[in-house]
Amino acid sequence: MGAAASRSEIYDYSGRLMRDLHFPAAVLPTHWDNFTAPFGASQQPSLGALQPFLEEIKAASPMTKVIVPKYFEAIPLGTAAQ
């Protein structure tokens, strides 16, 4: 799910998407990281900017688990849907 700052230009983006997706069990935010930084660089500033998105999802769909991907780490999707 697109988590870039540009989502704020679309009215109730996160809420509408959660409703249209019937409040999914899990969401993976995309386009939130600094893709111009080297892989080993800290993404801490980008994680800070991601917080409003996480709050929007929690407000719109409290039972949805948001999985923030980390570079080169497996994502346990089987446990997210349970």
Asked if residue 59 lies in contact with residue 12, where contact means CB atoms within 8 angstroms, the answer is: no
pLDDT band of 73, cuts 50, 70, 90: confident
Selected residue with higher pLDDT from 8 and 23: 23
Residue with tokens 């917080």: 51
Angle between helical axes of 13-20 and 44-60 (0-180°, round to 10)? 60
49 burial type by CB count under 10 A (0-12 exposed, 13-18 middle, 19+ buried)? middle
pLDDT band of 81, cuts 50, 70, 90: low
